[in-house]
Amino acid sequence: MTLTHPAARPATGTPPTRGTADGAGSPGSSDRRGRLLDTVVPRLLLVAVPALVVWAVHGPVGDPDTFWHLRAGEQLLRTWSFLPADDWSAFNTRPWVLHEWAPEVLLALAARVDGLAGVVVLRQVGLVLVVAAVLALCRSRGTLLQALIGTTVAVVGLAPSLGPRPQLVSFALLAVTVRAWLASADDRRPRWWLVGLTWVWACCHGFWVLGPLVGAVLAVGVLLDERAAGRDPRSARPLLLVPVLAGLAGLLTPVGYRTLTAAMGVGDTAQYVTEWAAPSLRTPTVAVPVLALAAVAVVWARRRRSWSWVRVGLWLAALLACLLALRTVAVGAVLLAPLVTEALRGPADPPAPRRLPRVEGALLAGTALVVLVASLLTASDRAARVPTGLDAALDALPAGTVVYDWYDVGGWLDWAHPDLSLVVDGRTELFNQDYLDRYQRAAFTQPGWQDAFASYGATAAVLPVDSPLADALVDRSGWRVVAVADGYRLLRHP
User: pLDDT at residue 89 above 50?
Assistant: yes
Dihedral of CA atoms 414, 419, 420, 424 in degrees, nearest 10, equals: 30
Higher pLDDT, 32 or 281: 281
The answer to whether position 17 is within a domain reads no
| In 344-406, alpha helices (H) | 358-378, 391-395
Does 204 lie in the same domain as 115? yes
Q: Among residues 325, 353, 376, which one ends one of the domains? A: 376
In angstroms, what CA-CA distances link 456 with 90, 301, 405, 408?
A: 10, 59, 11, 18
Asked whether residue 72 is domain-assigned, the answer is no
Based on the fold, state whether residues 361 and 394 are members of the same structural domain: no
In tens, the pLDDT along 258-296 reads 888 766 656 666 667 777 788 999 999 999 999 999 999
Q: What pLDDT shows up at residue 52?
A: 78
* E strand or H helix at 422: strand 421-422
Cα torsion through 211, 213, 216, 221, rounded to 10? -100
Q: Which of 74-78, 334-338, 345-349 has the highest mean pLDDT?
A: 334-338
Which residues lie closer than 8 Å to 90 by C-beta, 6 or more apart?
A: 402, 421
Average pLDDT, the chain: 85
359 and 396 co-located in one domain = no
Give yes or no: residues 394 and 356 share one domain: no
Q: What is the mean pLDDT of residues 322-331?
A: 94
Judge contact between 269 and 433, C-beta under 8 A: yes
List the single range of 24-33, 219-228, 369-378 with lowest mean pLDDT.
Answer: 24-33
What percent of the chain lies above the pLDDT cut of 70? 87
DSSP 61: B
Considering the domain architecture, whether residues 290 and 158 belong to the same structural domain is answered as: yes
Last residue of a domain, one of 351, 376, 401: 376
On whether both 424 and 473 belong to a single domain, the answer is yes
Q: Categorize the per-residue pLDDT at 102 as very low, low, confident or very high, splitting at 50, 70 and 90.
A: very high
How far is Cα 134 from Cα 128, in angstroms, rounded to an integer? 10
What's the pLDDT score for residue 11? 42
Q: For residues 348 and 357, what is the distance between their CA atoms, to the nearest angstrom?
A: 20
How far apart CA 163 and CA 486 sit, in angstroms, is 21
pLDDT-derived band at 494 (thresholds 50, 70, 90) equals: confident
Q: Which domain-ending residue is among 376, 406, 432?
A: 376
Residues 346, 475: one domain?
Answer: no
- The yes-or-no verdict on residue 172 having pLDDT over 50 is yes
Taking the C-alpha atoms of residue 144 and residue 38, their distance in angstroms, rounded to an integer, is 8
**What distance in Å separates the CA atoms of residue 67 and residue 61, rounded to the nearest whole number?**
9
Lowest mean pLDDT among 200-214, 306-320, 353-367: 353-367
**Would residue 73 count as lying in a domain?**
no
Greater model confidence, 380 or 392: 392
Least reliable range by pLDDT among 1-15, 257-271, 273-287, 480-494: 1-15
Q: Is residue 88 part of a domain?
A: no
Q: What is the number of alpha carbons within 13 Å of residue 216 lying toward its C-beta?
A: 10
> Do 154 and 57 have their domain in common?
yes
* CA nearest to 221, candidates 127, 316, 140: 316
The total of structural domains in the chain comes to 2
Residues 348 and 415 grouped into a single domain: no
Q: How far apart are CA 48 and CA 456, in angstroms?
A: 52
Cβ neighbours of 200 (radius 10 Å): 15
Domain that holds residue 450: 388-492
CA distance 104 to 70: 6
- Span 47-53, average pLDDT: 78
Is there a single domain that holds both residue 213 and residue 295?
Answer: yes
Q: Which residues pair with 484 in a beta bridge?
A: 489
